[in-house]
Amino acid sequence: TGHDVSDLHRARRSLQHLARHDALTGLANRSVLIEQLEQIIATRQPTAAVFIALDRFKPVNDLFGHEAGDELLCEVSERLRHVVRQGDLVARVGGDEFVVLAVGVDDLATGQAFCDRIDASLAEPYLLADGPVRLTASVGLALRDAESTVTGLLADADLAMYEAKAGRRGEPLGRDPHRQRTANERRKLADDLAVGLHAGEVVAYLQPLVELASNRTVEVEALARWNHPTLDTLGPMAFLDLAEDAGLDLPLGDAVLRSACQALQGLPQPLRLGINLSVAQLTDRGLAARIAGILREYSLPPERLVVEITERDTLARRAGVGRAAPERTLTELREMGASLALDDFGTGYSSLTHIRRYTLNSVKIDRTFVAGVCTHPEDRAVVAAVVGMAGALGLQVVAEGVETDEQYDTLRELGCTMAQGFLIAHPMTAAEMRDWMETRGDDWRHPVASLARRSQ
């Protein structure tokens, strides 16, 4: 009927909006950010990328609770909307991280003035329901130049933000305009990375995945970190593109896998290990054999390996001359015994196509939908639909980005298999993960009970 068709169109529009916007703040999400950056790079528009990370956001959550944290994030989002110019893009790219694209900004003075306005706006007190809160932000600036790439421009801004945090301890002081990334500086950082790989500076941080039915930890995801000697610990956005440009992406992936395998050896119980593979890795003809060798080196059965791939950055690309097709590498890994997980499910353009095309073991629901599962009926419906579809296909469902107890309990009621997110634990060093498993591995919500059970 006409009424049914109208409902279908509304539902489709709602899903399209949710796939491109952050459910909590309504800001653009990472997919929209990447799309706009691709257009900016292709058309060579002068643009400033501003990376913003809130300082000491976690204590607000710990002191006032996650509802206050959500309220604060929404207020920060509103301030960013008001401080930017018409036509600028504001995107939420992480729990407390945002990116602003200011098109038309082509000089450091203008870019610095823009960042100063953001600093001033975010430094004003926040009047939350539970009381006033003050916090600051670390802000990094990068300008598009002739050599900029999408990942490179974001990495430059991210690295500038880390430099601001490390050099000024997160205080919102004016940035030195000479800190703008140049091609020479990027080459120097790439040289640092080459040295750092040999020195063991690139390591795996581990984030636990827990069974929703039992609260028990069953898997960890390995996340790359670079312990730079002068820039502190850098996240992957600051150096992954550098690694690819410098031809270091394959040894970097190997280093992260080795670090993760070594960390697993020190844990009190066996867990599955999730690793992320890029398109460059998947098109490497020797990848499967090299992974098998590293697993043998650390006596880790291949059946405990979970290979995570994404739609946009991995499956949508084709192999070049002399490279392997990603499908071939994935087949080799599956034949070796590894499991296959589709990451960020729901944010790509052909999720269902990939489920049919690849022999998956699990799907990971993107945090965009998880964030609104308790507050937006559309998000809840999407999660329920994915769980139902996965059940029919014999797939496990992992919920990413779980940040509140209410989300956790709702996801369990909906039938999700596993959960991962800051509510449970932030990514941890090997030593921190070992301590966490000792106290929370059996039941992350009841650490004393975990110890009691293990001592029986």
pLDDT in tens, 311-331: 655 544 554 545 777 888 999
Which residue has tokens 């509304």?
10
Q: Assess whether pLDDT exceeds 80 at residue 88.
A: yes
> Residue 59's pLDDT band (boundaries 50, 70, 90)?
low
3.30.160.60, 3.40.605.10, 3.20.20.450, 3.40.50.300: which CATH number matches 189-455?
3.20.20.450
Please enumerate in sequence order all residues whose Cβ is within 8 A of that of 143, keeping only pairs 6 or more positions apart, or say none: 46, 47, 48, 49, 105, 106, 107, 108, 111, 180
- The confidence score (pLDDT) of residue 92 equals 93
Percent of the chain having pLDDT more than 70?
82
Question: What ranges make up the beta strands (E) of 212-338?
Answer: 217-228, 232-234, 272-276, 305-310
> Residue 13's pLDDT band (boundaries 50, 70, 90)?
low
| Distance, C-alpha 354 to centroid of its chain | 21
Name the phi and psi angles at 251, rounded to 5: -65, -30
Q: How many helices, marked H, and strands, marked E, lie in the chain?
A: 18, 15
- What is the rounded average pLDDT of the residues 141-153? 87
- Within a 10 A sphere around the Cβ of 8, how many other Cβ atoms? 10
- Within a 10 A sphere around the Cβ of 453, how many other Cβ atoms? 12
Low-confidence winner among 64-78, 354-368, 394-408, 430-444 (lowest mean pLDDT):
354-368
Domain assignments of the chain as residue spans, ordered by start:
2-181, 189-455
SS3 content of the chain, % helix, strand, coil (to 5): 50, 20, 30
Distance in angstroms (rounded) separating the CA atoms of residues 302 and 338:
5
Low-confidence winner among 47-56, 139-148, 164-173, 324-333 (lowest mean pLDDT):
164-173
Q: Work out the burial of residue 7: count CB atoms within 10 Å of its CB; fewer than 13 is exposed, 13-18 middle, 19 or more buried.
A: exposed
- The confidence score (pLDDT) of residue 310 equals 78
Residue 66 or 373, more confident: 373
* Cα torsion 72, 74, 79, 85: sign: positive
Q: Assess whether pLDDT exceeds 60 at residue 214.
A: yes
- What is the rounded average pLDDT of the residues 334-343? 93
Q: By the 8 A CB rule, do 278 and 322 touch?
A: no
Smallest Cα–Cα separation from 366: which of 392, 327, 409, 397? 397
Q: Assess whether pLDDT exceeds 60 at residue 218.
A: yes
> Residue 5's pLDDT band (boundaries 50, 70, 90)?
very low
Residue 310 or 76, more confident: 76
- Within a 10 A sphere around the Cβ of 426, how many other Cβ atoms? 13
Q: Assess whether pLDDT exceeds 90 at residue 265.
A: yes
> Residue 346's pLDDT band (boundaries 50, 70, 90)?
low
* Whole-number CA gyration radius for the chain: 22
- The confidence score (pLDDT) of residue 231 equals 85
Name the phi and psi angles at 248, rounded to 5: -105, 5
> Residue 170's pLDDT band (boundaries 50, 70, 90)?
very low
Question: What ranges make up the beta strands (E) of 358-413?
Answer: 362-365, 396-399
Q: Assess whether pLDDT exceeds 50 at residue 168.
A: no
Architecture of the structural domain at 2-181: 2-Layer Sandwich (3.30)
Q: Assess whether pLDDT exceeds 70 at residue 212.
A: yes
Q: Assess whether pLDDT exceeds 60 at residue 350.
A: no
> Residue 174's pLDDT band (boundaries 50, 70, 90)?
very low
* Cα torsion 273, 278, 279, 282: sign: negative
The two structure tokens encoding residue 71? 């309220």
Distance in angstroms (rounded) separating the CA atoms of residues 283 and 127:
51
Show the CA angle centred on residue 206, arms to residues 204 and 207, nearest 5°.
145
Please enumerate in sequence order all residues whose Cβ is within 8 A of that of 4, keeping only pairs 6 or more positions apart, or say none: none
Write the DSSP string, 142-205: EE--TT--HHHHHHHHHHHHHHHHHHHTT--PPPPGGGS--HHHHHHHHHHHHHHHHHT-EEEE
- The confidence score (pLDDT) of residue 171 equals 37
Q: By the 8 A CB rule, do 196 and 239 touch?
A: no
How would you classify the pairing of strands 202-211 and 217-228? antiparallel
Q: Assess whether pLDDT exceeds 80 at residue 56.
A: no
Q: What is each CA distance from 153 to 136, 186, 195, 424, in whole angstroms?
A: 24, 11, 23, 32
Q: Assess whether pLDDT exceeds 70 at residue 173.
A: no
- Within a 10 A sphere around the Cβ of 254, how many other Cβ atoms? 18
- The confidence score (pLDDT) of residue 16 equals 59
Name the phi and psi angles at 226, rounded to 5: -115, 115
Q: Assess whether pLDDT exceeds 60 at residue 39.
A: yes
Residue 113 or 151, more confident: 113
- What is the rounded average pLDDT of the residues 23-52? 91
Name the phi and psi angles at 123, rounded to 5: -80, -15
> Residue 255's pLDDT band (boundaries 50, 70, 90)?
very high
- Predicted model pTM: 0.65
Q: Assess whether pLDDT exceeds 80 at residue 91.
A: yes
Burial code of 333-353, b = ≥16 C-beta within 10 A, e = fewer? bbebebbbbbbbbbbbeebee
The two structure tokens encoding residue 415? 């039938």
- The confidence score (pLDDT) of residue 366 equals 83
Q: Assess whether pLDDT exceeds 90 at residue 60.
A: no
Q: Work out the burial of residue 90: count CB atoms within 10 Å of its CB; fewer than 13 is exposed, 13-18 middle, 19 or more buried.
A: buried
Distance in angstroms (rounded) separating the CA atoms of residues 422 and 61:
11
In a 3-state reduction of DSSP, which class is residue 243?
helix
| Span 421-455, pLDDT tens digits | 999 999 999 999 999 999 999 999 998 644 444 55
Q: Assess whether pLDDT exceeds 50 at residue 177.
A: no
